[in-house]
Structures are given as structure tokens and as C-alpha cells.
Structure 1
């Protein structure tokens, strides 16, 4: 099966910060705060977050903050968005530095993005997606301010996106997608048909005997992708159906997507690596209790010890 090249992955993540001017970095400039969350969380799961200077990280994150509205941009000078705001809050949580935030301002920004039907827009331009519902609920929960929104309406909107196959789409009537299942934080999993959704999620595992055998896809007839090791597994764990997939095959698939010489994990075997898939690959292995990794919470996408500190002070 091979082994996780932890040291190589740490070196790869730390090297990304030094490549701000290469082509890939410029293409991903607008997602830098998301990339920071993916990379830093991976380091923490690998027990190596001490390799970065927390003060330097926090200083940069706060430069992405818009004090006129309470949201965070994807980089310094970029417009605020709910996706970036969640990443910023998660990064601050990793370092136990949420206290640097004006939590009221941030939570008011998020609450202001809720629409009358309970859905959430990503930013002032109004795009709606159930991913944004998750971002809002997760972020406000971390900030202990879920009371800022109409939770019942938010849950009802997500439920309205449920399809006959048991999955959930990005909007009502949208195709079921493995990245769209997020009701656990509000205690609303009673709306889910666990067996039907579990069956649909387990059908995402590929069994073609090739180099990507055991991997998971996000929708029927799509290619497998390491990132769904997180999206599918986390959902299956939350509905108590994770034992329905072949964990050994999935573990082998993730390990097969490593660059064993230079570090990093790719979407599929022999593709180029990136920090996004490195995070979701390592996080997926953590969900499967791979030896030597910190446990990660399937709902909050943060290490369990960080979540315990947020909610229980320990």
C-alpha cells in the first residue's frame, strides 16, 4: 500500500510560500487565504504547524480583513466573500487567536448575506449555493453566534435542495453533488434519509481495477478526485455509514496520488500536485484514522483538538 510521505508534504507546503511570483501562484492569487487554510491545516494534522510563525500568519490574515463590512477577501486588496471569511476564521482558530477579531462585525457580515428564503449569497453580487450555507453556519458556530441568523430557514433551504437519489444539489433542482451535505452542525440530520444518502455516497467509489481504483468521484460518471476523499467520507461519518465503503482501497488510492520525491498530493495518480488536494488527501486519511495523524472533525474541517478548544475550552 505504501506510506504517507509526511516529511515531503511538509516541505512542499512550506515551499509554496516562497513561490509568490511563479505562474501557478499568480493564477491562484485570489484564493490565497483558502490556500493558507488548506496548507496550515495539513501541517497541523501532520503535527508540524510549529514550522510557521503564527504572528506572521495572523498579521497577513488580518490584512485581508475589510473593517467597513466585516468580511475577508481572498488576498490583500481583494473583495470580501463568505468562502474567504470562513477560511480566515478557521486559520485564526488553528492558532487560538479568534480574539483578534471583531466577532460581532464578522457575524453581522455573514448574517447580512442570508436571503429571505433562508439561502446565503456568497458576497454582495448575490450568487447562491448551499456551500455558502455551510460556510455561514460553520463560521457562525465557531464564533458562537448562530443566533444571528434564521437557522430554521437556513435548514429548510438546504432540505429543499434534496433530490430523489438522497443527495443534495447546490440549489433546488440542481444535480446531487458530494460536496453539498452539511446539516450536522445545526442538529438537523433527521431531515436526511441516511440509508438512501449513504447508498448514493458509496456509489461514488470507483472499482475499475486501474491506477485510480478505490477513489471517489463527486457525481455519477465523473472522474475520481482525491478531494472527494474528504467530502464523501465526512458525510458518511456524520450519517454513520462510513463502514459501507472500502477504506483500504481508498487509502491506497490517496497514497498512489503522492509525489514521493517532491511532496504534495494530486487529484489523480500522476497528475500535478497542489495544496488543495494535499489537504483533502491528508484530511481524508485522518478521517480513516491513518497512523500518526491528528484526528479531524468531519463537520468543522478542523483538527478535533481545535474544535474541543473552541467549544469546551480544552
Structure 2
């Protein structure tokens, strides 16, 4: 069942930020929206250093921008926003809107049909990170049934990046990171191409694209004595990696492979006196970890282990 625009807007209203933030009078949603739209000129790759050095990241930037605006605004307001298309591609016209067709067309221009993955921008190499971002954009736009989306080929591309130990490389060059395990499992799940763990000691099920048990086992092998996870086995626990690992295990139906209480204790200790959250012990609070840590705690049902009011106050300050 696909939600109608009215149903989608109703859902957005239900999941908007808590009234506590609005009661503070400090969450200026219109200014946030205007800032995101202003990136159209700030990130023009032809004119700015910032745009040039972030050109390869554009797909994920577009995903985060649309996700933020979608939470703040209604679906119609998202479609009517001006400016973002120029930030997406320096070849775009000067007077363009961030209309759904414009973004979707650009996403498919970033698709590499030779390998089956998406790059961070037009002409860039395919990578798991940007393949997930592209799929997320299409999902938010209800375009997963677009005839240009070759789900089978994308699934094969993702499967080709799984290694014998269950891990995933980000691209053809072979870097291994638990972020990529999350990207692979999340992308396949959104596309409807993922089955959950067999839990019977076997390898991948007949007809399955990837070894889900192996993927979950590799993520679990990156768990540390403190309950956290790093980017590879033996690497330092980090809040961003923990989100990826918890998310990956959740999608795989394998949360039993972690110690939830120990992990969530480590996560709640990341809350500083300021109310903000840091990514590792002895580091300063950074607003980005509000997302990574709160999301992990939410998946594990432990949001009450931190002070939400203090965190909200830190964020709006």
C-alpha cells in the first residue's frame, strides 16, 4: 500500500520534533529550510572551493538535505523549494526548482549501468555509500518502481562487494568498513532483496544474494570489550560506527549478537555536562552524534537512558 500525499503529510506531523523544542522558541524551521536551499549557491562547484572539494559527496548531501526538509515541511513544500538543483549539479540551469522530477533525473544520471551502482555525482565511480543514498532518495520520492531502476543489477553489484569473511568493500578498490555492511544491508532491504538470518548454521539461503549470517557475524566480530563497535575488528569503539553496526544487525534480525545493556551504557556515557553527546570518551560534544547515538538507542529501546531535554537544549543552542 502506497501512502497518499495526505497520509504522508499526516505521518510527518506525527513524527515531528517533540513540542519541548518548539516550546523553547528556539527551533526556527523556516531558517533551517532557507539555509539548506542556500547551499545552491554556496556549493556551486564552478565558483567555490567548497563545492569543488565536496562534488564527489553530492549524492549523500542531497539525501540528508531532502530528509531534513521532509521532516520540517510538507510534501508539497518540499517539491516547491527553489535552489537545490543547482547545488546538485553545476551543469544545471540558473533558474530551476528542486522539483521531484529534477532530482530523480539527476540521481539516475549518477548511475553506472556498467557495474550497477550509483556514484556521488555525475561521472563519479560507483560506491556503496552513494548507492544507498540514491536508493533512499528514490524511496522518499516513491520512485522505487521507476523503470530506470534495475533492482536486480543493483543487487548483484552489492553482492559482488561482499568478502569471504562476510564483510563488505565500499567499492572496487576494496576498503573494508562496517559502514559498508550497513549500507549493503539497508539498500537491499529497501529494494526488497534481503532475507533475514537463517539461524541454522548454514551459509546463504538458496537464491539469496548475500550471506546474511556471514554479514551479521562479521559485524559482531567488530564488537569490543566495552560493548561498542569499530570500523574493523580491533578498532576503537565509535558512536558513528555503532549506529552502523546496530542498524546492520537490526536489519539482519541479529540484535541477539550484541550486549544491549553494556553497549547502551557506553552510549549513555557519551552525554556531556552540556547535554550534548560525544563520539568517543574524552571528546567534545558534537551535534552530529545526537543522530548517531539517539538512533542506536532508539533501535535498542534505551532512549530513556539519557536526558532528552538536555540533549534537545544542546541541539537548539
**Alignment of 1:174 onto 2:235:** yes
**Alignment of 1:224 onto 2:253:** no
Q: Give the Cα separation in 2 of the matches to 1:107 and 1:174.
A: 29
Paired residues for 1:1-314 under 5 Å: 1-19=24-42, 20=44, 21-47=47-73, 48-50=77-79, 51=81, 52-100=98-146, 101-146=149-194, 147-180=208-241, 181-182=246-247, 183-207=249-273, 213-256=274-317
Shift in Å, 1:111: 0.6
Shift in Å, 1:22: 2.0
Q: What is the CA deviation profile of residues 81-112 of structure 1, one whole-angstrom value per residue up to 9, with x for unaligned ones?
A: 10010000000111001122100111111110
Q: Give the Cα separation in 1 of the matches to 2:109 and 2:284.
A: 38
Shift in Å, 1:17: 2.0
Indicate if the aligned counterparts of 1:110 and 1:136 stay in contact, CA closer than 8 A: yes
Shift in Å, 1:18: 3.1
Indicate if the aligned counterparts of 1:177 and 1:219 stay in contact, CA closer than 8 A: yes
Shift in Å, 1:192: 1.6
**Greater shift in the superposed pair: 17-26 or 122-131:** 17-26
Q: Give the Cα separation in 2 of the matches to 1:119 and 1:34.
A: 22
Q: Give the Cα separation in 2 of the matches to 1:57 and 1:86.
A: 15
Indicate if the aligned counterparts of 1:215 and 1:224 stay in contact, CA closer than 8 A: yes
Indicate if the aligned counterparts of 1:73 and 1:84 stay in contact, CA closer than 8 A: yes
State the secondary structure of the residue aligned to 2:41: coil
Shift in Å, 1:186: 1.3
Q: Which has the higher contact order (CA 8 A, sep 6+)?
A: 1
Q: Give the Cα separation in 2 of the matches to 1:113 and 1:92.
A: 22
State the secondary structure of the residue aligned to 1:124: coil
Shift in Å, 1:222: 1.6
**How many residues are treated as equivalent by the alignment?**
251
- What residue is the counterpart of 2:84 in the other structure? none
Q: Give the Cα separation in 1 of the matches to 2:298 and 2:231.
A: 21
State the secondary structure of the residue aligned to 1:179: helix
Q: What is the CA deviation profile of residues 234-279 of structure 1, one whole-angstrom value per residue up to 9, with x for unaligned ones?
A: 11111111101011111011101xxxxxxxxxxxxxxxxxxxxxxx
Task: Output the TM-score relative to the length of structure 1.
Answer: 0.78
Shift in Å, 1:2: 3.9
Shift in Å, 1:173: 0.6
State the secondary structure of the residue aligned to 1:44: helix
Q: Give the Cα separation in 2 of the matches to 1:247 and 1:26.
A: 38
Shift in Å, 1:127: 0.3
Ranges of 4+ aligned residues in structure 1 off by more than 3 Å: none
